[in-house]
Amino acid sequence: MRIRRSVPVTVAATLLAGGLVACQDAGGGGSSSAAFDPATCQGGTLSVLNQGGITHLDPARLYTSGGGNIPSLLFRTLTTRNRQPGEAGTKPAPDLATDLGTPSDGARTWTYKLRDDIFFEDGTPITAADVKYGIERSFAPELPGGAPYLRDWLVGGAGYRGPYQQPDGLEAIETPDDRTIVFKLRKPEGDFPFLATATQFAPVPKDKDKGVGYERHPISSGPYMVSSYEQKKSLSLVRNPHWTRSSDTLRYACPDKIDVTAGLDAAVINQRLTTGAGQDADAVTTDAVVGPEQLAQLGSGSALDKRVARGEFPSTTYLAFNTRKKPFDDARVRQALSYAINRTSVVNALGGSAVAGASTTFLPPQAALGYQPYDYFPAGDTGDPAKARELLAAAGQSNLTIELAHENDDALGLGPKVAAAVQEAFKQAGVTVTLNAIDSATYRDVTGKPATQPALSLQSWGADWPSGGPFLIPIFDGRQIVTAGGNFNLAQYDDPGVNAEIDAINALTDPAAAARRWGALDARLGKLALVIPLTHEKDVYLYGKNVKNAVPDGWRGTYDLARVSVK
């Protein structure tokens, strides 16, 4: 799951709506009149200006799918994002492997063949054993933080504790020769090619592993290698001399050097990108969406319009009911509040229609997820308080008072501004809402533990890869309920029929067929009002005057550092 990025804090609702395109031609933007050409784009230094600190640089500890943005410059994985603009970019593509894998045994076994022209930064050939070892490291309790799927999917994965404690390794990963790696799963998983994009699948040479110290200089398999790294502050990358474009056609690797500066204020980043003085003309950001000052300039034909990329990361902000707590054990109450919600006020609280779109479905409006439009409790633009009052009366609820939990700041879009918008909408339906602000640092812990979970809370969910599975399974699969903590099925909903349908879809290896089934399941679940979908995310990013090919894809909603140019 990826958490929503920081959002603007003022309304800019009149701006052009974002889509899976950039405000430029496919050749890229910037002040230069020369068209982007991947064959001649090499040169220069790209500056990356970020808010978030570079906390870890060990592939085992990075929670990214599709290779992330910065990690993808260092680490190649079995598969990667297709790295194409828009919807085409939602598909996986071969990376270290020659194809997307061969399923057998009903998608319980996946076999990959590695390319023979892949090397680490020291010139050592990358083998299947290196990939296996890299994956096994991600199970080590000494290296926490990575995506949890393999622990659940691999035979014997749940009890494995990594190579430092269990050096014999995982029997579920076989390497019959240097170019072949086989995965044995305990259940069918048609989405395995998507998971194989995660950084846990980056190869690690066993003889170079330094445990928790490995991240000080991880061994590169990608187009760049580490020149210097100061945790949470800066990272400097230079070319990996043993990477070749012929072995990796999806990463253009245009700049000669990439310098990342972390810990900056979002307003400072956007101001620097807007001004574009000196090296900032060759700068981008991977985590600072456009701020209020810049939003006010967009859509007016200004010069800044030519340096903005618009995309949509698949993410939904929603209200989560705990259906085991009154009054939300009554579907009529949940339905009433679904009618009462004012999505326009929520969109405005998030920053306006440029950065958020109203949602009546849990799946965001992206075809790759299986999106099917539905609206079972039509609230219109501003809510239907009369219909809400009618349902509440039928449920025997008058003068209802409820509590809404939310984060204590607005950084992730789950804070006081959105909570106040929900509070006012429910007030129009005669429902009194008291607000419970919880420290953002502990919010997920409190809401994700059934013993402390509030009856109603603001939540967001982002897909680890563009498929309906990682969107619906954690939220609605009853077998995913975790009583000790880290629970995301906040409705605590457990229906054997839904669980069986999830298993059936997981067994499909045709993404289009799976998408149709995920969309149908979303529509089926939507009738139950287990959640109230509020908005889907839109992303607006600036880039420097000299940057070209800053085109977002449909996987992450932002441009790809492995394909941008500053020459």
- Both 521 and 549 in one domain: the answer is no
What is the rounded CA–CA span in Å between residue 112 and residue 175?
A: 10
Q: Which domain holds residue 131?
A: 53-227+238-246
- Both 72 and 218 in one domain: the answer is yes
Give, as one character, the DSSP assignment of residue 214: G
- Both 442 and 524 in one domain: the answer is yes
Place of tokens 């592939």: 59
Closest C-alpha among 539, 538, 558 to residue 547: 558
**Per-residue model confidence as pLDDT tens digits over 272-306:** 999 999 999 999 999 888 988 888 888 888 889 99
**Per-residue model confidence as pLDDT tens digits over 399-443:** 999 999 999 999 889 999 999 999 999 999 999 999 999 999 899
Residue 336 lies in a domain: yes
Residue 252 lies in a domain: no
Query: What is the pLDDT confidence band of residue 398, given thresholds at 50, 70 and 90?
Result: confident
Tell me how crowded residue 300 is: count the other CB atoms within 10 A of its CB. Answer: 9
Residues facing residue 464 across a β-bridge: none
What is the rounded CA–CA span in Å between residue 444 and residue 30?
A: 40
Residue 394 lies in a domain: yes
Residue 188 lies in a domain: yes
Residue 124 lies in a domain: yes
What is the rounded CA–CA span in Å between residue 272 and residue 62?
A: 28
**Identity of the amino acid at 133:** Y
Least trusted range by pLDDT, from 47-56, 159-168, 515-524: 47-56
* pLDDT at residue 309 tops 90: yes
pTM of the model: 0.90
Kindly report the CATH number assigned to the domain that includes residue 147.
Answer: 3.40.190.10
**Per-residue model confidence as pLDDT tens digits over 531-567:** 999 999 999 999 999 999 999 988 999 999 999 999 8
* pLDDT at residue 515 tops 60: yes
**Per-residue model confidence as pLDDT tens digits over 93-124:** 999 999 999 999 999 999 999 999 999 999 99
- Both 357 and 408 in one domain: the answer is yes
Tell me how crowded residue 302 is: count the other CB atoms within 10 A of its CB. Answer: 13
Residue 526 lies in a domain: yes
- Both 197 and 152 in one domain: the answer is yes
Give, as one character, the DSSP assignment of residue 18: P
**Per-residue model confidence as pLDDT tens digits over 237-258:** 999 999 999 999 999 999 999 9
395, 327 in Cβ contact below 8 A?
A: yes
Least trusted range by pLDDT, from 54-68, 383-397, 484-498: 54-68
Q: What is the pLDDT of residue 222?
A: 98
- Both 405 and 549 in one domain: the answer is no
Helix (H, G, I), strand (E, B) or coil at 238: strand
- Both 64 and 188 in one domain: the answer is yes
CA quadruple 4, 10, 11, 16: dihedral sign: negative
- Both 45 and 101 in one domain: the answer is no
**Per-residue model confidence as pLDDT tens digits over 346-380:** 999 999 999 999 999 999 999 999 999 999 999 99
Q: What is the pLDDT of residue 24?
A: 34
> Could you give the C-alpha distances from 87 to 21, 183, 368, 463, 473, in angstroms and in order?
9, 29, 8, 15, 22
Residue 253 lies in a domain: no
Strand blocks (E) in 162-254: 173-177, 180-184, 224-230, 234-239
Kindly report the CATH number assigned to the domain that includes residue 497.
Answer: 3.10.105.10
Domain total in the chain: 3
- Both 164 and 213 in one domain: the answer is yes
* pLDDT at residue 4 tops 70: no
42, 189 in Cβ contact below 8 A?
A: no
- Both 350 and 411 in one domain: the answer is yes
Give the strand pairing for 432-438 and 401-407: parallel
- Both 242 and 364 in one domain: the answer is no
User: In which order are the strands placed within the sheet that holds 356-358?
Assistant: 356-358, 531-537, 315-321, 456-462, 401-407, 432-438
Query: What is the pLDDT confidence band of residue 3, given thresholds at 50, 70 and 90?
Result: low
How confident is the model over 315-321, as a mean pLDDT?
98
What is the rounded CA–CA span in Å between residue 250 and residue 265?
A: 32
- Both 170 and 282 in one domain: the answer is no
Residue 281 lies in a domain: yes
257, 48 in Cβ contact below 8 A?
A: no
Contacts for 128 with CB less than 8 Å, ≥ 6 apart: 114, 175, 177, 178, 179, 180, 181
